[in-house]
Amino acid sequence: MTVTIADLARALDARLWGDGSLTVTGAAEAGQAGPGQIALATTPAYAEKLAPGGMALLADGSDPEALGLKAAILVARPRLAMAGLTRAFDPGPGIAPGIHPTTVIDPSAEIAEGAAIGPFVVIGARVRIGAGARIAAHVSIGPDTVIGVDALLHPGVRIAHGVSIGDRVILNPGVSIGGDGFSFVTPEKSGVEEIRHTLGERAEIRQQHWTRIHSLGGVEIGDDVEVGANSTIDRGTIRATRIGRGTKIDNLVQIGHNCVVGEDSLLCGLVGVAGSARIGNRVVLGGQVGVSDNIFVGDDVIAGGATKIFTNAPAGRVLLGSPAVKMETHVEAQKNIRRLPRLYAQVAELRETVKNLLDKRPDADKA
């Protein structure tokens, strides 16, 4: 793709400085931009790396002339502008228009106009695929599944039966949607059930055998959801597992059966959400956050990396640590932990001082 920097500024609804006729063929980090590439210099530290005579995306208040640039785009929120700029130059997965001859499509499936389907795709009975959907190589779609308009399924995606996927959803390579939930039962009360009730006490340990509870529910994914590579979303037991509109899920995330995730939430890499948990709207779970089963995390909660949420989290709470506590409480606790060696030394010194004082008492020998 080739545009002028003036065209790019208009597309980003941003202010142009300098020669608007310069041709832009791509983007690069500051200090690494070659001919035709616009450098991304969104902070003063990056601006210092700019080579004179080039083009750059800068924050408002920067001085392109002082930086020796030929042209610049000035924006109020650089990271937001980066979203538009990277979208403009992203070539996409390169799925050829039409349906590849190696694709296996059940005669009852409905493929809307403009859909592009790559090689070795398998589409089951009564599947419906929306207009403009793009499905890359080696994707499989189970019976009675619905794929929305302009959805993008990258190579190797696996979608089971009875799944509903909204418009403009992006599933990255290796995503698995609609596998059976991890749900098993024993003929008698299991050890897990017992310790949930007693919090650790066990009357006796006996042999147990697990019997599968089959997953009859599906998965419902709202519009504009993105799911990262090799993430998994299990189907519900009776009702569907649900992911709300606009939610973004990173790589290697596991969402268990019956979970409900709200709208515009952000689940980072290696997050694990156990079965029947409810996650609110606009929740942010940092990398490696764990959420226990059958609890709720309220709207607008933010949990820092590696936080373990074992109990209900009220709306708006900022959490950190294992177990999760208010972030300020966790930070203060960590400060106190770092102070412990000094405190131990002070206590030892105090004990020695008291002992010496007691030893010097007149009646110490008589005691």
The catalytic residues are: 257
Structure tokens at 30: 């500051």
Q: Smallest Cα–Cα separation from 118: which of 101, 132, 105, 106?
A: 101
**Phi, psi at residue 24, to the nearest 5°?**
-115, 125
Indicate left, alpha or beta for 199 from its phi (over 0: left) and psi (-120 to 50: alpha). left
Distance CA 221, CA 145 (A): 11
Q: How many residues does the chain have?
A: 367
- Distances in whole angstroms, Cα of residue 29 to Cα of each of 23, 34, 55, 56, 213: 17, 10, 11, 9, 51
Of 217, 95, 224, the C-alpha closest to 144 is 217
CB-based burial of residue 56 (10 Å sphere; 0-12 exposed, 13-18 middle, 19+ buried)?
buried
Q: 128 — phi, psi (to 5°)?
A: -125, 125
Distance CA 133, CA 141 (A): 13
User: What is the torsional sign of CA 344, 345, 346, 350?
Assistant: positive
- Residue 359 DSSP code: H
For 298, phi then psi, to 5°, come to: -70, 170
Q: Are 280 and 302 in contact (CB under 8 A)?
A: no
